[in-house]
Structure 1
Amino acid sequence: MRMMKNAFLISVLSFVLFACGEEKTEAQVGQYTTIEVEEVYNAGSVAKGEIIEAKIEVKNTGDYPLMIANVSASCACTVSEFDEDAIQPGETTTVVATVDTDKTGKGRINKPISISANTRPSRTVISIQATVLD
């Protein structure tokens, strides 16, 4: 009986020691992080019909992996792509948003996109701005 107790105790201690040495590589529920991002992307002057490709750098400045859940646009003229893998602390990812100026008006445009992630607040809004010329 004593030998079984010792074996159990050794296995529990081994589990605790190995579990404490694990790195934080995957996001877990309740782990919030912080990001650094330019909140305005200015494409300058573009011709009507041109596609604006906004490459938005998002840096994880927190202590836990960053998980981008969704990137949404305010209109059908804007589409986005993002990496669904965890972005580790200190690393950067790129969100690509394209705006089809054929579907926008002329003049100054402002197309917001929202990045939803495990941050507080959970939503970060980026404004894609340009002047559409005829």
Structure 2
Amino acid sequence: MARALRVLTQLMGWACVAIGLFHVALGNAAIPGAGSAGATVDSWGRFMGACFVGYGLAWLWAARQRPIPARAVRWLAGVFLLGGVGRLLSLAVHGWPQWFQIALAVIELGLPPVFFWLANAEERAPRGDWPTRAWNARS
């Protein structure tokens, strides 16, 4: 479970960093259907891209910890889930978006429960790290 959590956390981090940089670099062109949205949406999209880079870096920070902090993973996954809920609210208010946004909503609503499950399993796992701690104390 620990390895699955570490790999998935790293993938999430790198994906968020890459997507965020893509939005910072391309602005409206990074959002399907928003190419002619104007300067205000472009500015907002680039700013949010930078925030997404920071979010990805938080995932990468969590992936580098030993053990991975389950509380941090749950918080980060909760933020991701909130993004999916936001997409559902948009769907309810404005109707169906472009198909790629629907695919993203499925990921944003489906992946957090996996992270919650893995984080809980990791938190409950017995820690057999006594020899490692003892070795590090001698170093």
TM-score, scaled to structure 2: 0.23
TM-score, scaled to structure 1: 0.24
Q: Which has the larger radius of gyration?
A: 1
**Structure with the larger strand share:** 1
**Structure with the larger helix share:** 2
